[in-house]
Each structure stands twice: as C-alpha cells, then as structure tokens.
C-alpha cells in the first residue's frame, strides 16, 4: 500500500459501528461519522457545513415520501385491512402459511429483479397483509395459535420479504450496487459490463429462492409440531364468547 494514503478518513466506519453497538440515535451517529470523516480528510469546517446543508436541501422532501405511505397504511388498518386479509385467506382451504410465503417470495424476487422494489416492504406489505394472511392460514389448519407461533410467522414473513428483495434486486441491471461495482472495477482498469454482473446474480438468486422455499415448505409441519407440544390453553389468545 502506498505510504502517502491516509487511513484516518475510515474513522467514520468505526464511529458508525460504535454508535450502533451502543444504541445511540442513528441520525446522530451518521452525522457525527460524516463530520469525523470530513475532518480526518482535512476538509475545512465551512466545506463540511456546506455539504451537510446541500444534502439536507436535496432530501428535505424525503420525509413526506416515507411518511405518506405509512399514513395510508395506518388508515387502511384502522378500517380493518388486517382482518379482511385474514378472512380472505381463510376461505382458501388449500392455502397454508408456507405456501403463501413461497408465492410471496417468488413475486417479491421477480418484481425486484425488474426494478419494482417498492411493491413490497415491511410497513406497507408485510405487516398489514402478508403476516396477517399467514396467521389466518395457520388458524384455519391448526386452530388457535400461541403467541410464540404468531411471532414466528411474522418473523418468517419479514425474512421472506428480505430474501426476495435482497437477491432479486441483484439481477436488476440498474441496481446501485451493480453500478458501484462496475465503476470501481473500471477505475481499476477492469472493464465489466453491468449486464454481465447482473446475469451472474441469477445463480445466487435461484439458490436463495430454493433454500428459503425449502425452509418455508417445512414451516407448516413445524407449526403443527409446536402447537401439539404446547401446554393446553397456555399462551393462547382468549376466545370471545357471546353473552347469554
């Protein structure tokens, strides 16, 4: 490594790791890491403040973009979106939690592969729709669920969204990581086409789909076994009975 390269600007990485480990406010950690990196790179304070101000002006509308869908989802949930999703999936007798999540995994991965990454997500898709539908399918087959099983289904629903998005977007040729890799390699004198990088993501995405789909295919049996071993009436939601 050339001796004239300073590694002090990498202090920002250490600040971020330490801040997240100590569970400080993420926004504060990122700001302190940016300032620390800039000062370690000998940026004058005026330039640091200019960069922070420019970034704020460019992203000041980001909060509206993020909060507006959450408000819409919250309004839909207030009017029974989760209950309707559970009731709808309960009418499909062949539906199980594992089969439902396998279908969602395929849809999530295929849509992410063509750049439609916003069609899913935890706040707008998993929490109000996918997780309640998985719980409803499990209730039809197994009856009342324990809280442990409910949390397991929610975790699998969130994990399915993560796997589908993470490995699906690697196939999209205009994905930011692919552009970053090709740019870095080009600066190093290695010419690589973004399309070739995206195509090499297909085997990884296929393997991820097969492995996670196999895990989901065993989910229904695991739920049945766990409910059979659970003590009776322990951790079950109280059943409401009509007053006589």
Summarised one tens digit per residue, pLDDT across range 8-27 is 888 888 999 998 888 888 87
Structure tokens at 98: 């594992």
What is the distance between the alpha carbons of residues 125 and 130, in angstroms, rounded to a whole number?
Answer: 6
pTM: 0.66
CA angle 138–144–145, rounded 5-degree value: 65
CA atoms of 13 and 123, how far apart (whole Å) = 28
Interval 174-227: pLDDT, tens: 777 788 888 888 887 888 888 888 888 899 999 999 999 999 999 999 999 988
Backbone angles phi, psi at 146, to 5 degrees: -80, 160
| Collapsed DSSP state (helix, strand, coil) of residue 175 | coil
The secondary structure of residue 6, as a DSSP letter, is -
Q: Which two tokens stand for residue 76?
A: 């839909």
CA distance linking residue 88 with residue 69, whole number of Å? 23
Instruction: Give the closest residue to 15 by CA, choosing from 1, 6, 2, 28.
Output: 28
Residue 66 C-alpha from the chain's centroid: 15
């Amino acid at each position: 490594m050339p001796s004239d390269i300073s590694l002090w600007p990498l202090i920002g990485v250490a600040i971020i790791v330490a801040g997240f480990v100590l569970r400080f406010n993420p926004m504060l950690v990122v700001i302190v890491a940016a300032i620390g990196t800039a000062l370690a790179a000998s940026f004058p304070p005026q330039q640091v403040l200019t960069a922070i101000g420019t970034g704020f002006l460019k992203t000041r509308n980001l909060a509206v973009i993020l909060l507006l869908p959450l408000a819409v989802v919250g309004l839909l949930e207030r009017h029974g979106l989760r209950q309707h999703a559970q009731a709808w999936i309960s009418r499909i007798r062949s539906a199980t939690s594992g089969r439902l999540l396998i279908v969602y995994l395929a849809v999530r991965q295929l849509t992410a592969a063509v750049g439609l990454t916003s069609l899913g997500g935890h706040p707008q898709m998993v929490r109000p729709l996918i997780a309640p539908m998985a719980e409803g399918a499990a209730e039809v087959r197994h009856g009342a669920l324990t809280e442990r099983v409910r949390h397991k289904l929610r975790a699998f629903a969130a994990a399915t969204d993560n796997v589908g998005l993470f490995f699906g977007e690697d196939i999209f040729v205009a994905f930011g990581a692919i552009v970053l890799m090709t740019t870095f390699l080009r600066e190093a004198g290695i010419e690589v086409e973004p399309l070739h990088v995206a195509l090499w993501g297909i085997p990884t995405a296929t393997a991820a789909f097969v492995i996670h789909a196999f895990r989901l295919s065993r989910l229904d049996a695991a739920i049945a076994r766990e409910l059979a071993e659970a003590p009776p009436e322990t951790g079950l939601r109280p059943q409401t009975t009509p007053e006589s």
